[in-house]
């Protein structure tokens, strides 16, 4: 998607693409980071919604009508205290139930391409890793939820994999400046080292005030193969996940079972530079 601060237009685009993906046979459909509103900090704050607000109510309606599970990418969540904002990803079951909500842990406070990004000026970091079981067709899938910048930090993905996740979701608005060099590499690395599928729906194109997103939404298998990739423009891509092959891989090349966590001693914490 190429989301902007025009929330009604973004919802219309998302619904069109979700319906197209469902008609193509998709059973789990993912939307990008901040798919309902991507814009300046003041508009992001003003457009924040609670998790029972109109945006996620619309997604729940699509899920029930179409009989599909939907990862509602992420939205700017307005917390119950009326002040706190989070960048929150929600997984919605095919009956419209909210299965899990993950609040982005790693804030995108960086300087790239001559632009300063300070996500923490709008949103507060989450504190909890989140995974959940999601019914897909006749089966079930253990899903670990993450968002965009999280993909640069391997620790959450390993923990989610050890907890049983076989699919990671990475809705993103990856910058144009970092996307070419890092997007594919990071996603494939998280897949390979944890022998997990990765579902990474992304933003593409420009949005005010300074956003320019890389796109290239991807679905990656546990061997690190790219099963599907968006080439450009607003669209959906789809792939079949071979869960039996994943199970064979985890038995024959048992990365997770061969870990030696007792030998992994953490060094002294490094202070972040501001």
| Cβ pair 189, 218 in contact under 8 A | no
What average pLDDT score do residues 223-236 get?
96
With beta carbons less than 8 A apart as the criterion, state whether 22 and 65 touch: no
Mean pLDDT of the chain: 96
**252 included as an active-site residue:** no
Phi first, then psi: give them for residue 271, nearest 5 degrees.
Answer: -75, 135
What's residue 274's pLDDT?
55
Contact yes or no for 193/154 (Cβ under 8 A): yes
- Which residue in the list 27, 33, 43, 77 is annotated as catalytic? 33
Give the Cβ contact number of residue 258 at 10 Å: 7
Nearest to residue 29, comparing CAs of 54, 53, 2, 65? 65
pLDDT at residue 26 in the model? 98
Confidence of residue 224 (pLDDT cuts 50, 70, 90): very high
**252 pLDDT more than 60:** yes
Average pLDDT over residues 194-205: 98
Nearest to 120, CA basis, from 138, 141, 103: 103
pLDDT band at 273 (very low <50, low <70, confident <90, very high): low
The Cα–Cα gap between 109 and 242 comes to 37
Least confident interval from 205-209, 250-254, 256-260:
205-209
Choose, from 27, 49, 148, 166, the residue flagged as catalytic.
148
Percent of the chain residues past pLDDT 70, beyond the cut: 99
List, for residues 146-180, the tens digit of each pLDDT value: 999 999 999 999 999 999 999 999 999 999 999 99
Predicted TM-score (pTM) of this structure? 0.96
Which pLDDT belongs to residue 272?
65
Q: pLDDT by residue (tens digit) across 27-79? A: 999 999 999 999 999 999 999 999 999 999 999 999 999 999 999 999 999 99
Whether 206 is catalytic: no
How is domain 7-258 classified at the CATH fold level?
A: Nitrilase/N-carbamoyl-D-aminoacid amidohydrolase (3.60.110)
DSSP secondary structure letter of residue 151 = G
- pLDDT recorded at residue 230: 98
Residue 27 is among the residues annotated as catalytic for this protein: no
What is the mean pLDDT of the segment spanning 129-154?
95
Band of pLDDT at residue 113, cut at 50, 70 and 90:
confident
> CA–CA separation, 127 vs 103, rounded Å?
8
């Amino acid at each position: 998607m190429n989301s902007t601060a025009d929330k009604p237009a973004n919802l219309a685009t998302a619904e069109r693409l979700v319906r197209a993906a469902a008609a193509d046979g998709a059973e789990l459909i993912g939307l990008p980071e901040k798919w309902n509103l991507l814009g300046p900090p003041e508009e992001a704050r003003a457009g924040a919604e609670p998790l029972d607000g109109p945006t996620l109510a619309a997604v729940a309606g699509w899920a029930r009508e179409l009989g599909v599970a939907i990862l509602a990418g992420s939205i700017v969540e307005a917390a119950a205290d009326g002040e706190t904002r989070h960048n929150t990803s929600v997984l919605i079951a095919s009956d419209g139930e909210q299965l899990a909500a993950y609040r982005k842990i790693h804030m995108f406070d960086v300087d790239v391409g001559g632009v300063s990004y300070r996500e923490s000026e709008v949103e507060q970091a989450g504190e909890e890793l989140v995974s959940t079981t999601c019914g897909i067709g006749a089966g079930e899938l253990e899903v670990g939820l993450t968002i965009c910048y999280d993909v640069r930090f391997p620790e959450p993905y390993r923990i989610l994999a050890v907890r049983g996740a076989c699919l990671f979701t990475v809705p993103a608005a990856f910058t144009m400046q970092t996307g070419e060099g890092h997007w594919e590499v990071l996603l494939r690395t998280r897949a390979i080292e944890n022998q997990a599928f990765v579902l990474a729906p992304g933003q593409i194109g420009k949005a005010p005030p300074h956003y320019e997103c890389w796109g290239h939404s991807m679905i990656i298998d546990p061997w690190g193969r790219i099963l599907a990739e968006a080439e450009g423009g607003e669209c959906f891509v789809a792939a079949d996940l071979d869960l039996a092959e994943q199970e064979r891989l985890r038995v024959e090349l048992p990365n997770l079972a061969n870990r030696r966590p007792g030998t992994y001693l953490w060094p002294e914490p490094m202070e972040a530079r501001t």
